[in-house]
A and B are shown apart, each in its own frame.
Chain A
Amino acid sequence: MADLTLNEKRLLLALAPRGRAGAGALAEALETSEEAVVQYAHLCADRGLAAIERTVTKTYTLTPEGEEYRKSGLPERQIFEQIGDGISMKDLQALPLSRIGIGWLRKKGWIAIKNGVAEKSGEVPPGDDEIALAAPKEGMPGIPDLLKRNLVVEAEEAAYAIAITPAGQALVETGLDLREETGTLTRDQILSGSWRTANLRRYSLQTPPKRIYPGKSHPYQRIIDDVKRILQDMGFVEMRGDIVLSAFWDFDALFQPQDHPAREMQDTFYLDRTEPVPAGWEGVRDMHEHGGATSSTGWGGIWEAAKAEQCVLRTHTTPLSVKYLIENPRPPVKAFALGRVYRREAIDPTHLPEFEQLEGIVMDEDVTFRHLLGYLREFYQRMGFENVRFRPGYFPYTEPSVEPEVWVDGLGWVELGGAGVFREEVTAPWGIEAPVLAWGLGISRVGMLKLGLKDLRQLYRSDIDWIRESPVIGKGE
């Protein structure tokens, strides 16, 4: 019990001879306010040294309308006194106060109306409401009616009485140290050595500290950082690039046919800009039209440069890979990109018009589909997905294509990204001869899985309290 503050000790000392006292009396004795006494008493009560009794009394004050009626009577009473034994309805309605009074007269049964004439039902003694109106007090039967008629207003007043418990008495009997306490040590106390004799206040571990939060990265950014670190650890160089691309880079260079549904206005954000097709575009055209010098038939039809020149917000990060390979045509190349991509989607909990995509490529003389699966397994396992399996997939620019799936407890096998070997139709126009393994992955999906979110929007329109409460390490409670 040694961690009582001076104020609590003084309260117990004041209570000890009294046993039980009102907060007002104690406040006077301790020369402080009632609120302070109640606060000290709560701290004592938490330790079982005192008990607090709270009594609530209700008081009533008359509204201006109520005050007027207290003096001159309720409207129905005033009319009742005026009308003799009977009165025609027409005359009754002409009386002042009749708008309020007639209803109550009928409701209370003070008059009966027959053939357009109101007749008194006899003499009526003062009702509960009239008695209460004269001097309203808690518990009077007329009070509810007065409240309903808005003639009185109710107020609650709490009064506190505090009693010392046997444990409190026992503590007082052992004697209490009433020297002044020191909270925060002062420079003087430290330098002079007076801290040695000071009564240093003891602080309770039962009182939780104020919550403070460090400055920190966004929880989703930490996942992005982890992914990037994993790829750098695996020997990949980071690529970055423009968000605005011509359709040539976003689609045509990736062998997406010009009539592919994904290229339509309803799926892609087009811009009112064009960019000329780059040097070497003829190879891409040939690939689309007839497969160039490869064993491919191409898509057939006529390839239109005008369609390729329209600019878009990149719909994926794969164009960065093709551009990077053109700039770095010699194997080995291992590169990745992680950036925002854009799809023309309406916002809902699982769809957003922008999100992060990861892109990885490996170009080397002797890499094969088997190595692609090896990279994927290694990557997903480093991401914390122990069980990985592979199923056939389809993407216009890879062959073979594969859809990796990872096991997530509670969800089962979850498709996470897509991968494949770049088609020759993609690499041949640029003279890239070594095989190129490629994979892509929606990182916002990983973010949702890892952060346990059901709504993607939380990643981008964040609740600050969510960021504050998300621990840097692990997921939190």
Chain B
Amino acid sequence: MAIIRLNYEYLERLTGTDRQIVIDRLPMIGSDIERTLEDHVDVEFFPSRVDLYSTEGVARAMRGFLGIEEGLPDYPVTPSGIAFSVDPALAEIRPYLASAVIRNVRLDEAGIESLMGLQESLHWALGRGRRKVAIGVHDMDAVKPPFRYLASPRDRRFVPLDFTEDLSMEEILADHPKGRDYARLVEEFDRFPLIVDAEDRVLSFPPIINGELTRVTTETKNILLDCTGTDERAVRMAANIICTALAEAGAEIESVLIDGVACPDLSPAERIVGPADCARLLGLDLNAAAMAALLRKMRFGAEPLPDGRVRVLVPPYRADIMHDWDLFEDIAIAYGYDRFDAALPRTFTTGREHPISALERMVRAIFTGLGHLEVLPFTLTSEKLLYGRMGREPSPDVLPVAKPITEDQSVVRTHILPLLMETLEINRHRELPQRIFATGDVIRGETTMQTVAAVSIHAAADFSEAYATMDALCRECGLRAEFAESADPAFIDGRRGDVVVNGKIVGVFGEIHPEVLAAFSLEHPVAALELDLTAVPGYPGRQDTP
């Protein structure tokens, strides 16, 4: 999530109230206070509320929430007469452009930092790492309109930001830090996106880097904004958010003609909602006037209609209002989550344990009754543990994850027994005897199923103990099984058995092979077993034998 830095002085100036009042109420519009410092507070907002990613945006929302200034903010836009053209060759590369002229900005160092912060947060939340949207701000007075957004040959040269010499666009991708970070977004294309002025001077190579020529400084009076990207809605939203934030700081917005169409369009979107739908979602009994009043606190334009519904004007910066319910949530927030009368419905229902959970619970009772301690090992593990160290052949049933972080979590377990051996290894300095068990999910092929496994380590652990334990488990589970000679290489030949039900091997038990003991650094014999719970009567879908 994005962390927004709110400078106290600036916040107080923009909200017209005391910092503490703002900070106390911030969590109730949906933010986490990360840390409070001497001159600023760092807060975190949800990725849906990109309009709160600037001090100006937060102040705008809080003025409404605190009742200082309610209703739809008004952002007049006057035409600048400046034209911007978009090269049709960009259609397959980066087709969308939004732009604006922002006059009379008064940026001090903190103002520039805040603007850069907003830009970065939008790149992350709205731009998905600059792919959907990338934003550029330029010193308008360093260049000459009209502007052109075009698909340029890759060897075009200019001086990128933070450099003193010109580089080709290809060199920028290889040598400029931003070029390396974002090269993957454009490198596959024959031509690269480029913004130039009337004299063919470079403003920007979106989404990578601006030119040094139009660097914004504290001297900058007028800004040209460009937003480019692959998603038209997101591109327009980014421009709206930047424009309205700077307007909140006192600047004036002028539109640009992009292939003849004026941009930005800061007019509100309209929605009409009714009290019945609102009440059905929230459980609050609010009439249209009450709804409208709460919506105005959230900076919507809202007025009751004669038919009892509410006409809502959605500010141009609210990216998250997709559905009527999004308005109802804002009504709930304005009402105050802390003021809701939490209630329980009266419908009768009965609770029920899942049959597999019931089986696991009974298996736990059997093993704790036998004196075993339960452990809950990971389900992610490695083939090396599951098969290599167990002396077993790798199983074709094993499910690897595509991009593991480490070898130790590269597959999902097909068996639990190897994880118990690892648990014994971790606990090899603890007092003996140790008797442990685990039950839970394993995946074979793509199927989620369950097994139970148990091990016992001490000087006298042997085949007899494993056999007796498996025999007790089967009896207690009501499982009529046959025991047959096993070929499982994890166990000592002549000291191992398979559990066979209807001709199918569903479990194994015996005395662990000394080679396997050595692989787990164990110095005493281990009696071990594992049984598929799918074989146990009561398992959903099991064909019970008569």
Contacts and interface: CB of A to CB of B under 8 A. Distances in A.
A354 B443 contact: no
Contacts of A332: 347, 349
B350 interface: yes
A238 B337 contact: no
A298 interface: yes
A65 B170 CA distance: 78
A261 B147 CA distance: 34
B376 A235 contact: no
A240 B357 contact: yes
A463 B427 contact: yes
Interface in A116-159: none
Contact of B343 (A261, A301, A374, A463): A374
B341 interface: yes
A408 B338 CA distance: 19
Interface in A383-420: 389-394, 399-402
Interface stretch (B69-77, B327-335, B510-518): B327-335
Closest 4 CB pairs of A and B: A368-B283, A370-B283, A232-B351, A394-B46
A309 to B, nearest CB: 13
The CB with the most chain A CB atoms within 10 A, among B29, B30, B337, B341, is that of: B337
Given A217-B374, A394-B49, A400-B328, 4 more contacts: A215-B373, A216-B368, A271-B402, A368-B280
A99 B117 CA distance: 75
Contact of A300 (B233, B356, B361, B371): B233
Interface of B: 27-30, 46-49, 128, 131-132, 231-233, 271, 279-284, 322-326, 328-329, 332-333, 337-338, 340-345, 347-354, 356-357, 361, 364, 367-380, 399-406, 409, 412, 423, 426-427, 430-431, 434-436, 440-441, 443, 446-448
Contacts of A464: 373, 375, 423, 427, 430, 434, 436
A244 interface: yes
9 contacts: A215-B372, A228-B353, A236-B351, A238-B351, A244-B443, A269-B402, A270-B403, A354-B379, A364-B345
A295 interface: yes
Contact of B399 (A240, A271, A362): A271
Contacts of A217: 364, 368, 374
Contact of A370 (B343, B377, B440): B343
A244 B379 contact: no
B446 A311 contact: yes
Contacts of A236: 349, 351
A468 B351 contact: no
A286 interface: no
Contacts of B434: 464
Contacts of B375: 218, 462, 464, 467
Contact of A423 (B282, B323, B357, B376): B323
Nearest to A390: B337
Nearest to A391: B27
Interface string A187-212: 00000000000000000000000000
A465 interface: yes
Contacts of B440: 340
A369 interface: yes
A370 B322 CA distance: 22
Contacts of A213: 373
B340 A369 contact: yes
A460 B377 contact: yes
Interface string A443-471: 00000000000000001111111011000
Contact of A461 (B283, B372, B423, B441): B423
Contact of A425 (B323, B348, B380, B427): B323
Given A332-B347, A332-B349, A297 B374 contact: no
B203 to A, nearest CB: 27
A393 B47 CA distance: 11
Contacts of B357: 228, 238, 240
B357 to A, nearest CB: 6
Given A259-B132, A463-B430, A391 B28 contact: yes
